[in-house]
Amino acid sequence: MKFKKFSMLTAVILSVSLLVAGCGKSEPAPAGSSSEGPKSEINALYYVNSTLGDKSFFDSAQAGMDRAVKELGINAKTVEGGSNTADWASGLEAVVASNKYNVVVVGTSQMIDITKDLAERYPDIKFIFFDDLIEGVPNVYSMLYSQSEGSFLAGAFAAMATTNTELKNSNPEKVVGFVGGMNIPIINDFKAGFEQGVSYVDKDVKVVTSYVGDFVNSPKGKELALAQINSQKADIVFGVASAAGLGTLEGASEEGVYSIGVDSNQNALYPGSVLTSMMKNVDQSIFRAFELLVKDELPLGKGEVLGIKEGGVGLAKDELYEKHVPQSIKDKMKEIEDKLANGEITVQSSL
């Protein structure tokens, strides 16, 4: 009996050992491992230098993170830094220094210096930076969207809309509005592209410009839009102000005129008033970056500019666009998009 019990016990131990060894072959390597075999586990942090809920830029980035979790199996957490710029450096460093994450996703030109500093001090962490370029830092991959090209499309669209007799709420004045979040280089690159697009269609159309002063003050965004509409006779307004831009869209809708959304498809917020949206495909670009990372093909140390040809920017053309935009404008916009993609039209970036 003792011999039988011993034999059975030995067999059980041997079976468990083989099972554990077999399972071990399919487990991911520890974070940061460079060993051959399965890819290292990706523990990613998305730091929002604002708050989610803008239905635009930051929410689009979150959608890209969510897709990477679902389709690529990465682990991810999001931290919202709030609207106080003084908190961002310490807030991001606190989570980076925790050593819980081997990939950090962060963006906007306001975070360039903070990100470069942290990347240099935490060389084992990979940084995916979006909406501006950081080059020459070996653990940072960055991508800039050609907002000037996308805004060129928005400007061309606005110039056609303000004089189009099929749009019942267009007025006789050749005036279009631009409401920016802050007077900073990235926003002014939107403005530069917008103005070029307007001029391409009709050099007599005037662009009136206002700045909110931040990216969260929706009431201020609405106030500025109403001033452009009521005092300066704009009948279509392009809001480039993240959450503050929601007020711009609301103001245009309340006054019965038109607007253009930004960063993601905002057409459904005020159907028939938001005629289209200039999209930065932030979600797609972040998912693409993680795809490259999983394949060990992410070009760290370099930056990419994603324009119309690369699918980085474009106009939202959904069922609402098809319903509310006159066919004459749709046909002309297709022609302009094709010319931008094949290089017949060149947009000058202010950057």
| Residue recorded with tokens 């075999």 | 37
pLDDT for 311? 82
This prediction has a pTM of 0.74
Percentage of the chain beyond pLDDT 90 is 81
Distance between CA atoms of 5 and 152, rounded to whole angstroms? 81
With 80 as the cut, is the pLDDT of residue 6 above it? no
At 130-147, the pLDDT tens digits run 999 999 999 999 999 999
- The secondary structure of residue 37, as a DSSP letter, is S
Domains and CATH numbers, the chain: 43-145+283-306 (3.40.50.2300), 147-280+317-341 (3.40.50.2300)
pLDDT for 4? 41
Q: Counting Cβ atoms within 10 Å, is residue 324 exposed (0-12), middle (13-18) or buried (19+)?
A: middle
Torsions phi, psi for 245 (to 5 deg): -70, -20
Distance between CA atoms of 168 and 189, rounded to whole angstroms? 31
With 60 as the cut, is the pLDDT of residue 18 above it? no
CB of 214 closer than 8 Å to CB of 240: no
Mean pLDDT of 181-188: 94
- Residue 157 Cα distances to 89, 197, 205, 259, 278, angstroms: 39, 8, 12, 10, 10
| Residue recorded with tokens 């094709």 | 338
pLDDT for 33? 34
Distance between CA atoms of 243 and 58, rounded to whole angstroms? 9
pLDDT for 57? 87
- Residue 93 Cα distances to 58, 64, 290, angstroms: 20, 23, 22
pLDDT for 1? 44
With 50 as the cut, is the pLDDT of residue 21 above it? no
pLDDT for 39? 52
Mean pLDDT of 34-59: 79
Mean pLDDT of 69-95: 96
Chain-wide mean pLDDT for the chain?
89
User: pLDDT band for position 35 (50/70/90)?
Assistant: very low
Torsions phi, psi for 141 (to 5 deg): -110, 130
At 273-311, the pLDDT tens digits run 999 999 989 999 999 999 999 999 999 999 999 988 888
Mean pLDDT of 113-138: 97
